[in-house]
Homo-oligomer: A and B are copies of this chain.
Amino acid sequence: MLVISDVIRGFTDSIILAQLSKGDSYGYEINKTIQAITDGEFELKEATLYTAFRRLEADGCIISYWGNENTGARRRYYTITEEGRAVFKENLTDWNRAKEMINDLLNKEGL
Verify B94–A7 contact, CB threshold 8 A: yes
Partner of A41, one of B36, B42, B101: B101
Pair B14/A106 contact, Cβ less than 8 Å: yes
Residues of B within 8 A of A6 (CB): 9-10
User: Does A49 reach chain B (CB closer than 8 Å)?
Assistant: no
Secondary structure call for the A interface: helix
Pair B18/A98 contact, Cβ less than 8 Å: no
- In the complex, given contacts A2-B87, A34-B105, A37-B111, what are 20 additional A-B residue pairs having Cβ atoms less than 8 angstroms apart? A1-B61, A2-B10, A2-B14, A2-B94, A4-B101, A7-B11, A7-B94, A7-B102, A8-B101, A11-B102, A15-B102, A18-B105, A18-B107, A19-B110, A22-B109, A37-B108, A38-B104, A95-B102, A95-B106, A99-B99
